[in-house]
Structure 1
Amino acid sequence: MKNRKQGIALLLSVILILTLAACSGGNGNNEGAAPEANAPANETPKPDVPAEPLGKYDPPIEVTAVRGITEGTKYNEGESLENNVWSKAYENDLGVKVKYLWTTPTAQYDQKLNIAIASGDLPDITPVSASQLKGLVEDDALEDLTSLYDQYGSGLTKDIMSQDGGNAIKSATFDGKLYGLPNMTSGLGQTHVLWVRTDWLKKLGLPEPKTMDDVIKTAEAFVKNDPDGNGKADTYGLGINKDIFGFYAGMQGFFNGFHSYPNTWVKDASGKLVYGSVQPETRAALLKLQEMYKNGLLDKEFGTKDATKVSESANAGKLGLFYGFFWNAGWLQDGKNVDPAMEWRAIPIVSADDQPAKAQVPFAISTYYVVKKGAKNPEAAVKLLNFDFEKLWGKTAQPDVYSSSNNIALFEYALLYGEAPRKNLDAHLNVVKALDSKDPSALNTEEKGYYDNILAYRAGDNKMWGNNLMYGPEGALAVIEGYSEKSQLVDDAYYGAPTQGMTDNNATLQKLQLEVFTQIIMGGSIDGFDKFATQWNDLGGSTITGEVNDWQASH
């Protein structure tokens, strides 16, 4: 790290000397004055920076960038990353021409970017990970965006960036200075609901589960009482995938019912940060899963089945319960298309005792947009983000132009991207209000699409069933909104960059956790959990715990 810092410092010194030699006389001021007589004749003045968040540069400017390209990215005929609706709008509406120095498949992006960072060869705007952000800040390689964000950030941008309570901005702030623009996404959208096959409940005369005991009794009935009516013992009670945790048939919601918050950092009674996976509540949840596995309520072969395989079981009518994200309804649509009698519903996660269950909310930011130190127009990154938010989510949003069209993900072309953490929750509330009043006039284009789809479903179009399960009055988003209203959410308390201990040890610790948890569920001694907790600390967990508590003390 020291050598890299010295290399970058030397490079910046050389650039500074060359710049002073070439630009003596102060041409390019923000007042638009003509170059002084001793300035190079072929050098043009720096354009005025438009004060408005969406103001256009005149004359236009050029910014350089790099990026990863998602596998399977499609373009309309004659278009490319450098020539599409976004690149044209940047140039025509903002006066910003984006020049990509290089692109690479997403899977290879980090490796190529690390080489560029090591050589000090950064473009004006770069998407980076949290650890890369931290390293670049330590190397003094980035522009301080604090005043630029304050001055040029639009009201919409600042609203979206604050919807997680400010943690995203804090995670990009070092010593009081903002060095990156977070790629906002929704942690709330990654909380768990409990998906229940309600036509099976009705057939077997069962109520919706209200407690953990109810979940277990329901799972047992779905296994033993032939809910599909084919006379065979071929149905599963509770879905679980081979990774144990995840977005579909993951067990976060189940563990949350035991007040366990695996893979996140939470505060203990003294206010210190502790890792949820090694707490006593996690032991209790594993013991209950072991009991369910022994009694045949879980798929005996779950250790070989990923989320896709579990979803195939659900769509084939062989599964009646699973925990997952609100949008898992989309993965259930194929089953509904085959069997119109199939009905599912999302309900709140349930508790194992008399205390309400709280759903864990992960810290969802993994990418930041940074500006290299010395960039000619560092404020352009803020203005580009303003533009992206406005065209995707603002009052003048045009999702059919900028988000998706003809099954092409147009939003992938945007240089900067982000979603409001409450975007889907607010869309649900707005759609329900419009349905109640029968007046969709206040809806934006995206929300109007959900509204129309729900009306189509109500009119008999089963292909729009999934939309109703997500955005309808009793949809999965209503469950998550209920968590929010009742303060039944637990945020990941650590939102900093990966610590050195995490970088060194997380892969080993995660592998160990999966091995031990799988063994316990499949019948291994519960004492294995206690050994795991000790090993976790010995293999780097203790170091990481010290690091995150040092971080907390400084924030």
Structure 2
Amino acid sequence: MKKRFVSMALVLTLLSSLLVACGANESKGSEDNKGKEAGSASENYDPNSKLDVTWLNILHTASPPTDTMVKKIEEYTNSKITFNWVPDASKEERITTALASGDLADIVTLTMLTNSSVRNSLKSGMFWEVSDYLDDYENLKLIPQAAREAASIEGKLYGVPFLNNLARGGLIFRQDWLENLGIAEPTTLDEVYEIARAFTEDDPDGNGKDDTIGFGDRSDLRYGSFKTLSSYFGTPNGWAVDENGKFTPEFDTQEYMDTLNYSRKLYENGYLAQDFAVTAKSDQEQQFAQGKAGIFTGIIGITGLRTLAEGLNMDFKLLPVNKISNGDGEYHIWSEGSGVNGLMAFPKTVVKTEAQLKRILKFVNDICDEEVSMYMTRGIEGVHYEYDAEGVTHIINKDLYTAEVTPFSSSRPMPTLFPLKSENPEKELTTKLINENDAFAVFDPTVPLDSATNNEQGTELAKIITDATFKYIMGQSDEAEFKKAVETWKKSGGSAIITEYEEAYKLTKK
């Protein structure tokens, strides 16, 4: 069976067709009005009322923010906000436990939309369906229809989408190490491999010690090195779909096997961190910042790495790279959720009436305003940042900024609404590269589709492939054993997932 990936041209055509603005919604007030509870429509909604809101949110920094910016946001939005911060490293366990127990907040940040527990909770009716409400708000109505579709399940949108760039993948290299060794910026996987070797064997920091490696990594196939390297090999993003609508999981392709062999070779020769399978993201970042590794996956994190390295590496120079091919000159990079990075969802057990929902949506709309966006990205002018003559913002006190502002950077639903010039040339270059990625981003065709089996068993089934992938990379199994694991995945429910995605895909073509 001839397979192909979803072509970029086709995807962009489909997306552009979805960007038609929503017109007047005639379904409001009808019997089947989506997301509206019977008897609630008559309740009064006062958009100017003081809001007491709780928010179960994801924390991407070591410590929660101080109250400084919280008070500014509360003042602007006429609210009292109580945050319950969940560390990013433990979000899967904490969020799934909260969903199971019902211990939720007015707003719940859900970033794992492919997680079976999250998906089941959304489909179960636990959260408000908000499609009919977004266009009533000045900022929320700007959410593209394509993003709404990508964040929906069976055509229903159970929260406000966190918008993101289509693809933020890439590699960060220690540029000072490249310069020390006289190596040019890489453009192919073979050149990346040679850099990993040189960073491990050729004393790139010049200290005369055998104390560096090429790739630092972590126990995460998606956000560690594997997914990005897999993209460069041309592996489909999650799934491939051919011209007949037949679906193939990414790990059942030759490109995935090519990535396995590449990563295994890196590991066998010591060019990939030997403890990657048990390493957390924070430890990987520290390893890179402390000068122990020279290649980091994920160009979006360049500012954080720079901050971690301050005072540790006086000659710390970074080079973000987004265009790496397998040798044929073609570029691919996986797209995370088709530009959607999760949902701000509103559980019906906490937000009990339509009036409450509307007031909370007004709050979400307000934090998308430019003033709050600045609070959450730069802080307070004259305290955390200042403008120069060219309109570039400069951080005044980095310690204060890190403590009071940085933790909010991932909490904005629409971070690209008010783009800012950065004082950091590395950050500006990274933004440029991320925008370039749009041209060769590879989409997951199952993002807007649904599979009952995947909702019920997907997380557990994924562990079969994750374990098999780790074992292969570390030389603990061979190709036959890996393929046996793929067959186990299929027999344990994977084949049903394939069939269900194919059936759901057919429905979109009618």
> What is the TM-score of this pair, normalised by structure 2?
0.71
Secondary structure of 2:326 counterpart: coil
From 492, 511, 518, the counterpart of 2:444 = 492
Q: Residue 157 and residue 297 in structure 1: after superposition, are their counterparts in 2 closer, same or farther (change >3 A)?
A: same
**What is the distance in 2 between the residues matched to 1:394 and 1:489?**
27
Asked whether the equivalents of residues 244 and 251 of structure 1 are also in contact (C-alpha less than 8 Å), the reply is yes
Match in the other structure for 2:21: none
RMSD of aligned alpha carbons: 4.1
Asked if residue 386 in structure 1 is aligned to residue 365 in structure 2, the reply is yes
Partner amino acid, structure 2, of 1:210: T
Among residues 334, 354, 365, which one is paired with 1:375 in the alignment? 354
2: CA distance, partners of 1:99 / 1:335: 33
Q: Does 1:514 pair with 2:497?
A: no
The alpha-carbon distance between structure 1 residues 99 and 272, as it changes in their structure 2 partners (threshold 3 A), is same
Query: Of the candidates 150, 153, 157, which is equivalent to residue 140 of structure 2?
Result: 157
Distance 1:114 1:128, change over 3 A: farther
1:482 maps to: 436
Structure 1 segment 251-290 matched on structure 2, within 5 A: 251-261=226-236, 264-290=238-264
Higher relative contact order (CA 8 A, sep 6+): 2
Q: Where does residue 184 of structure 2 map in the other structure?
A: 207
Matches of 2:374 and 2:287, distance apart in 1: 42
**Partners of 1:385 and 1:538 in 2: CA distance:** 44
> What's the counterpart of residue 536 of structure 1?
489
> How far apart, in 2, do the equivalents of 1:205 and 1:346 lie?
17
After superposition, the C-alpha distances for 1:460-490 in whole angstroms (9 at most, x for unaligned) are xxxxxxx32112xxx2222222222xx2111
Superposed counterparts of 1:401-420, under 5 Å: 407-409=402-404, 418-420=412-414
**1:437 corresponding residue in structure 2:** none
Count of aligned residue pairs for this structure pair:
436
Give how far 1:406 is off: 5.8
Note the alpha carbon deviations across 1:9-61, whole angstroms, 9 max, x for none. xxxxx996xx9xxxxxxxx98xxxxxxxxxxxxxxx946x6xxxxxx54xx4x
Residue 234 of structure 2 aligns with an amino acid whose one-letter code is H
Select the residue among 87, 90, 96 that pairs with 2:77.
Answer: 90
Deviation at 1:211, TM superposition (A): 1.1
Q: Is the 2:99–2:121 Cα contact (8 Å) retained in structure 1?
A: no
Alignment deviations for residues 212-254 of structure 1 (CA, whole Å, 9 cap, x no partner): 11112222222232222233333212333233442xx522221
Hey, what does 1:525 align to over in structure 2? 478
In 2: Cα distance, 1:334 partner to 1:529 partner:
38
C-alpha distance in 2 between matches for 1:506 and 1:542: 12
- State the alpha-carbon separation in 2 of the partners of residues 313 and 410 from structure 1: 25
Q: In structure 1, the residue corresponding to 2:162 is in which secondary structure?
A: coil
2:217 is aligned with 1:217: no
Match of 1:325 among 285, 290, 299: 299
- The 5 Å alignment of 1:429-444 reads 431=421
Name the structure 2 match of 1:502.
Answer: 454
Correspondent of 2:498 among 522, 525, 545: 545
Cα deviation, residue 174, structure 1: 5.1
Amino acid at match of 1:480: I
Corresponding residue for residue 19 of structure 2: none
Give the distance between the partners of 2:213 and 2:98, measured in 1 at CA. 45
- For structure 2, the 5+ residue unaligned runs are 1-36, 385-399
The Cα offsets for residues 478-536 of structure 1, whole Å up to 9 and x where unpaired, read as: 2222222xx21112222248743223323332322222112211223122332222122
- The whole-number CA distance in structure 2 between the counterparts of 1:398 and 1:526 is 47
CA distance in 1, matches of 2:449, 2:73: 30
Query: CA separation in 2, counterparts of 1:63 and 1:387?
Result: 12
The separation in 2 between residues aligned to 1:314 and 1:133, in whole angstroms, is 34
Give distance in 2, aligned partners of 1:116 and 1:311.
Answer: 34
Q: Please show how residues 93-104 of structure 1 align to structure 2 within 5 Å.
A: none
Kept in 2, the 8 Å contact 1:470–1:477? The answer is yes
Query: Structure 1: any 5+ residue segments left out of the alignment?
Result: 1-13, 20-27, 30-44, 50-55, 92-96, 432-449, 455-466
Given that 2:374 and 2:380 are in contact with CA atoms closer than 8 Å, whether structure 1 keeps it comes out as no
Larger Rg computed on CA atoms: 1
Q: Answer whether contact 1:391 1:397 (CA < 8 A) is retained.
A: no
Structure-2 change in CA distance of 1:508 and 1:532 (3 Å): same
Q: How does 1:287-298 map to 2 (within 5 A)?
A: 287-298=261-272
Identity %: 17
